[in-house]
Structure 1
Amino acid sequence: MRLLHTADWHIGQTLNGWSREAEHRAFLAHLGEILVAEHVDALLVSGDVFDGLNPSGEAQRLLYAALAGYLRANPALQIVLTAGNHDPAQRLEAPEAVLRELGVHVLGTLARGAEGVDLARHLIPLRDGFGQVRAQVLALPFLRQADLPGLRLGAEDGTEGAVTAALRALLSETVTRAQALAGAVPLVAMAHLTCAGGLESAGAERRILIGGDHAVPPDVFPAALGYVALGHLHKPQSLDGGRVRYSGSPFPLSASEIGYDHGVTLLDLATDAAPRHIPLPRPVPVLRLPAQGTAPLPAILAALEALPRADTPRAEGPFLYLALAADRPVTEITAALDAALEPLPVRLAGLTITRPETAAPSAAPPQGLTQTSPEALFAAAFRDLHGTDPEPRHFSAFRDALSEV
Structure 2
Amino acid sequence: MRILHTADWHIGQTLNGWTREAEHGAFLARLPELVDAHGADALVVAGDVFDGVNPSAEATRMLYEALVGLHQRRPRLTTIMVAGNHDPAGRLEAPSALLEGIGVRVVGVMHRRDGAIDLDRHLVPLRDRDGEVRAHVLAIPYLRAADLPGLGQADEEPGSPVVRATRRLYAEAVEAARKRIGGAPLVATGHLHCAGGLESDGAERRILVGGEHAAPPDIFPDDVAYVALGHLHRPQHVGRETVRYSGSPFPLSATELPYDHGVSLVELRPDGAHCEHIRVARPVPCLRLPQRGSLTAAELPGAVAALGLDPACPREGQPFAHVVVRPDGPAAGLAGEVERALETLPLRCAGVKIDWPARTAAEEAPPAPVSLADCDPGDLFDRAFEAAHGAPPGPEHRAAFDEIRLGD
- Give me the TM-score of the superposition, normalised by structure 1: 0.91
State the distance in 1 between where 2:305 and 2:379 align.
39
Q: Give the equivalent residue in structure 2 for 1:225.
A: 224
SS in 2 for 1:75: coil
Amino acid at match of 2:284: V
- Of 115-124 and 329-338, the range deviating more from structure 2: 329-338
Change (3 A) 1:113 1:389: same
State the distance in 1 between where 2:67 and 2:193 align.
27
Alignment of 1:37-56 (within 5 A): 37-56=37-56
SS in 1 for 2:259: coil
Alignment of 1:1-80 (within 5 A): 1-80=1-80
Residues 228-277 of structure 1: CA distance to partner in whole angstroms, max 9, x if unpaired?
11111111111233110111100001111100111111111245462111
SS in 2 for 1:274: strand
Q: Give the equivalent residue in structure 1 for 2:170.
A: 171
Change (3 A) 1:293 1:53: farther
- Count of aligned pairs between the two proteins: 401
State the distance in 1 between where 2:163 and 2:384 align.
49
Change (3 A) 1:338 1:59: closer
* Contact 1:309 1:344 (8 Å CA) reproduced: no
Change (3 A) 1:362 1:185: closer
* Contact 2:331 2:391 (8 Å CA) reproduced: no
Residues 346-398 of structure 1: CA distance to partner in whole angstroms, max 9, x if unpaired?
11111222545666447835516xx63x6445434433432321234544565
Deviation at 1:313, TM superposition (A): 2.9
Change (3 A) 1:366 1:138: closer
SS in 2 for 1:33: helix
State the distance in 1 between where 2:372 and 2:165 align.
57
Change (3 A) 1:78 1:389: same
Amino acid at match of 1:124: V
Where do 5+ consecutive residues of structure 1 fail to align? none
Q: Give the equivalent residue in structure 2 for 1:81.
A: 81
Deviation at 1:299, TM superposition (A): 5.2
State the distance in 1 between where 2:126 and 2:403 align.
77
Change (3 A) 1:347 1:154: farther
Q: Give the equivalent residue in structure 1 for 2:112.
A: 112
Amino acid at match of 1:255: A
Amino acid at match of 2:353: T
SS in 2 for 1:70: helix
* Contact 2:294 2:325 (8 Å CA) reproduced: yes
Deviation at 1:157, TM superposition (A): 4.2
State the distance in 2 between where 1:388 and 1:95 align.
57
* Contact 2:385 2:392 (8 Å CA) reproduced: yes
Deviation at 1:303, TM superposition (A): 2.9
Q: Give the equivalent residue in structure 1 for 2:129.
A: 129
- Of 210-219 and 284-293, the range deviating more from structure 2: 284-293
- Of 117-126 and 179-188, the range deviating more from structure 2: 179-188
Amino acid at match of 1:321: H
Alignment of 1:313-332 (within 5 A): 313-332=314-333
Match of 1:367 among 373, 376, 380: 373
**Percent of pairs with identical residues:** 52
* Contact 1:155 1:166 (8 Å CA) reproduced: no
* Contact 1:12 1:21 (8 Å CA) reproduced: yes
Residues 58-112 of structure 1: CA distance to partner in whole angstroms, max 9, x if unpaired?
1011011011011111111111111000000000011001111221101001001
Q: Give the equivalent residue in structure 2 for 1:239.
A: 238
- Of 284-293 and 240-249, the range deviating more from structure 2: 284-293
**Does residue 204 of the first structure (1) align with residue 207 of the second (2)?**
no
Where do 5+ consecutive residues of structure 2 fail to align? none
Change (3 A) 1:304 1:220: same
Residues 185-204 of structure 1: CA distance to partner in whole angstroms, max 9, x if unpaired?
20111111111111111121
SS in 1 for 2:100: helix
- Of 314-323 and 45-54, the range deviating more from structure 2: 314-323
Amino acid at match of 2:382: A
- Of 14-23 and 240-249, the range deviating more from structure 2: 240-249
State the distance in 1 between where 2:369 and 2:129 align.
80
* Contact 2:268 2:274 (8 Å CA) reproduced: no
- Give me the TM-score of the superposition, normalised by structure 2: 0.91
Amino acid at match of 1:241: R
* Contact 1:314 1:344 (8 Å CA) reproduced: no
State the distance in 2 between where 1:364 and 1:115 align.
64
Amino acid at match of 1:364: V
State the distance in 2 between where 1:98 and 1:322 align.
45
* Contact 2:264 2:277 (8 Å CA) reproduced: yes
Amino acid at match of 1:87: D
Q: Give the equivalent residue in structure 2 for 1:388.
A: 391
Q: Give the equivalent residue in structure 2 for 1:341.
A: 342
- Of 61-70 and 177-186, the range deviating more from structure 2: 177-186
Alignment of 1:136-155 (within 5 A): 136-153=136-153
Q: What RMSD, in angstroms, separates the aligned Cα atoms of the two structures? A: 2.4
Amino acid at match of 2:28: L
**Does residue 379 of the first structure (1) align with residue 385 of the second (2)?**
no
Change (3 A) 1:39 1:309: closer
Change (3 A) 1:52 1:366: closer
Change (3 A) 1:18 1:41: same
State the distance in 1 between where 2:114 and 2:333 align.
65
Amino acid at match of 1:60: T
* Contact 2:46 2:228 (8 Å CA) reproduced: yes
* Contact 1:154 1:162 (8 Å CA) reproduced: no
Deviation at 1:184, TM superposition (A): 3.4
State the distance in 2 between where 1:228 and 1:291 align.
35
State the distance in 1 between where 2:369 and 2:155 align.
54
Change (3 A) 1:379 1:63: same
Q: Give the equivalent residue in structure 1 for 2:258.
A: 259
Q: Give the equivalent residue in structure 1 for 2:279.
A: 279
SS in 2 for 1:52: coil
State the distance in 1 between where 2:147 and 2:400 align.
61
Deviation at 1:402, TM superposition (A): 7.2
State the distance in 2 between where 1:245 and 1:100 align.
26
State the distance in 2 between where 1:118 and 1:236 align.
31
